[in-house]
Each structure stands twice: as C-alpha cells, then as structure tokens.
Amino acid sequence: MTSQEIDRVINKVKNKIYSPIYFLMGDETYYIDYFTKYCDENILNNDQTSFNKTILYGKDTSVQEIISVCKRYPINSEYQIVIIKEAQHLSRTLDSLSDYALNPSMSTILIINYKYKVLDKRKKLFKSVQKFGMIINCKKMYDNQISAWIRARLENENFIIDNKASFMLFECLGNDLNKIVNQIEKLKIISKDKKITDHLIEKNIGFSKDYNIFELRNAIGEKNLEKALKICNYMSKNINKHPVQVTITLVFNYFIQIFQLHSIENKSSSNISKIIGINPYFVDEYIKASRNYSLKKISKIISLIRDFDLKTKGYKGSNVSSGDLLRQMIVQIINN
C-alpha cells in the first residue's frame, strides 16, 4: 500500500467511516505506527478513552482474550478501540481469530499491528478479514521513491527542500521512514525560514554535503580522480560513518546501474528512472557516466570491485589498510 492509499484510508476515518477490523502488516512499520497512532488519537475523545480503549501486546495476550475484549460493549461511546501491538508473536494461533472476523462487533474497531510479516492469502483469517475489514499491506518504498516522498511530506507542511538535500537525507538514513521522519522533525524545529538545506543537514545530522558516497560516485562517474581521492581520504578518516565495505557495495551498485542504462532503448528520463531505480533528478549524471564507461569497461570494473571487496574482508592475503584499498580501487576504476 502506498502513502496515497494510506492517506485515503485515514480520510475515511476522518469522515467517521470505520471498518471493524484493520489488519496492518508488512515491513514498512512507519505506516503501521502512523495509522494506529492516528486512530488512537482521533476516534475517541478524552472522556471516552479511559473506558473504551484497550491495548494488548502479542507476547502477553491470546486470541481468546482479544475476542473477549472485542465483544465488550462500549461505555458512553458509540465505539471502543482495541489495538493489538506486536501481533506477529501470535502468528501460530492468529488464524483462530477467523470466526470473529466473519462476525465482528460493529461497535469495536480492532487494529492489529502485524509487523515485519505478511499474512498468507491462503489463510482463513486473510479471507475472513477481507469480508468486513481491511488488510493493509505496508511495503517498503523503493529507493528511487524516497527523495520524492521526503519533498512531498515537507511541502504538505509548507517547508521547502531541494532535490540534493532530500537525496542527502536518503543517502544518510536509507529507506527507513521512521528514521527519516525523526530527523525531518528535528530539522523542522531548527529551520528558521522553513527551508531544509544541505547546509542544515550537514550541520545537524553529521552528513557532509561534499564528502559522501553520492559525491564520490559522481566524481568517479565524471572520471575526476583528484576529487574522488579527496572524498576518499575524508571518508577513510571517518571509517565508522563510512565503512569501506558499504562504500564498495554502493560503488558496485552504481556500476550495475550504469551497465543497465546501456541496455535501455528508451532513454527518456522517466524510463531510465523507473528501470534502474534512481531519482529522475540524477538521470543526467548517470547518462554522462555511461559515456565515460563502455559496457566492456564496466564488465572489467565489476570484476575489479569484487576483487577489492574480497581484499577488504581479508581474502587473497591482503594486509593493506581498508582506506588504501579504497584508494587503489578508485584509481584503477578511473584509469581503466
């Protein structure tokens, strides 16, 4: 389920259109928490909450207890909310909730958090919940969607962030939306003019706008040896923030993407972005890199990177420091 789909479900809740069961599952825990928190804070008022909200944890409860609680009648309220957190710990017995799901209490809103797992569509529970409730599969976003998601989120709150700054956040934090949102909230408080800039990110998150894996890959793509080595030296001195094996993996993935780009017939920005999984903003840089590295050269470079990856792990009898290995690799790639 995408962010837009989650928003549509929340809009129904805003309009007091409720389902008796919401089964939230998947790897993107941000949306599971986001939806649950919204319902928790908005369906009942403060006077209703104390008697009509129950939170149970999968490790400490049973399906029988959940059903018993769900069958209670609300007190001085049209609805009661029952939230099951960490329901994945009930995966062996959860299917026995099926009969309740086929005949749910319409005065109960049951919200099940089933994190890091997906309910098997063949299970009776899956089919039962679908009849009267909602199954919300919260999937991880693709890497090439993260920067746009960051920009859209901030724009909805009247903040401005440019492409490079949003990409820096992604490079620094990965595709963990919980981490990204936590840092965004921090940056929003610090920002004085509702602008999130690369300087603000560098100062407050500890991610250099000039010395990072994105700039290193760009320098390699441009065959700018001086710039690439300068960035490499900086990263080698900050090995905890820039583990060499992670850096090598990201450079490897970069050349795999350039290799894929060579085989694309329709080289429109949107098509390249979709196929190789990058933000459209960076397509031109990848095209330039593809002009500097032919398919034949990339094949050699991929083998070379694999060889250096083994050396950083202690294979092939290498006793050279990881920083020196990274420098050697960069020199050989650019001079290939």
User: Which residues, at least 6 apart from 280, have a Cβ–Cβ distance to it below 8 Å?
Assistant: 269, 270, 273
Contacts of 216 (CB under 8 A, 6+ apart): 228, 231, 232, 235, 247, 251, 330
Per-residue exposure over 99-133, b if at least 16 CB sit within 10 Å of its own CB, e if not:
ebbeebbebbbbbbbbbeeebeeeeebbebbeeeb
Distances (CA, A) of 216 to 65, 148, 163: 55, 22, 17
Query: Do 52 and 81 form a contact (C-beta atoms < 8 A)?
Result: yes
213-334 CATH pick, 3.60.21.10, 3.40.50.300, 3.60.15.10, 1.20.272.10: 1.20.272.10
CA distance 102 to 130: 9
State residue 204's pLDDT score.
82
User: Looking at this protein, which amino acid is placed at residue 116?
Assistant: Y
Fold classification of 3-137 is Rossmann fold (3.40.50)
Domain coordinates in residue numbering, the chain: 3-137, 143-205, 213-334
Q: What is the pLDDT along the chain (336 residues), one digit of tens a residue?
A: 667 788 889 999 999 999 999 999 999 999 999 999 999 999 999 999 999 999 999 999 999 999 999 999 999 999 999 999 999 999 999 999 999 999 999 999 999 999 999 999 999 999 999 999 999 999 888 777 888 889 888 998 999 998 778 888 887 777 789 989 999 999 999 888 899 988 888 788 766 667 788 889 999 999 999 999 999 998 888 777 778 888 898 899 999 999 999 999 998 888 998 888 887 778 999 999 999 999 999 999 999 999 988 888 877 656 778 888 999 999 999 997
- Are residues 327 and 236 in contact, defined by beta-carbon separation less than 8 angstroms? yes
Q: Which pLDDT value is given to residue 278?
A: 80
CATH number among 3.40.50.10490, 3.40.470.10, 1.10.8.60, 3.30.465.10, domain 143-205: 1.10.8.60
Note the pLDDT of residue 214: 82
Beta strand spans in the chain (E):
21-26, 53-57, 80-85, 108-115, 134-137, 160-161, 195-196
* pTM to 2 decimal places: 0.69
For the stretch 186-201, what's the b/e string if a residue is b when 16 or more beta carbons lie within 10 angstroms of its beta carbon?
ebeeebeeeebbbebb
The count of other CB atoms within 10 Å of the CB of residue 27 is: 14
Can you list the positions of beta strands (E) in 71-156?
80-85, 108-115, 134-137
Token pair listed for 108: 């109960």
